[in-house]
Copies of this chain bind each other. A is one copy, B any other.
Amino acid sequence: MAAVAGQVTNKGEGAVLSDRAYNAIAETFRALADPTRARIVHLLSFGESSVNHLAENLTVTPSAVSHQLRMLRQMGLVRFRREGQLAFYALDDPHVAILFQEAREHVSDYLQEGRKSREWL
């Protein structure tokens, strides 16, 4: 405890955001913080896709994909439309694809500094 009890918090040192802002931002990152969801988002960046099509390409059960898609939907990253028996999902926000690409470049740069190999990019 103790934790330097004085000095409550942010004064005028910049544009400190509210707790709700940081929570929402963290939640956005959390949506992409899982390999399966990252794969889903990357596939959807090429265009909309059905649940089974995603499951096939990801070698994951349709159930698991459906669970993850629900999460992405609740977080506002994807939208879906129904066409007969099929449910087509697509990215709902251009920022999502940008985020993915930016993270991909960060990883590329990071690995390029010689800490690991990068033959997979």
Instruction: Given A93-B109, A110-B76, A110-B93, answer yes or no on A104-B38 (Cβ-Cβ < 8 Å).
Output: no
* A62 CA / B2 CA spacing, docked (Å): 9
Please tell me if the beta carbons of A18 and B93 are within 8 angstroms of each other in the complex: no
Shortest Cβ-Cβ A-B pairs, 7 listed: A95-B106, A18-B120, A30-B33, A29-B33, A29-B32, A33-B33, A24-B107
Q: Which of A16-69 contact B (CB under 8 A)?
A: 16-35, 37-39, 42-43, 46, 52, 55-62
Interface size of A as a range: 35 or more
Question: What is the interface of chain A, defined by CB distance below 8 A to chain B?
Answer: 1-4, 6-10, 13-14, 16-35, 37-39, 42-43, 46, 52, 55-62, 76, 93, 95-96, 98-100, 102-107, 109-111, 115, 120-121
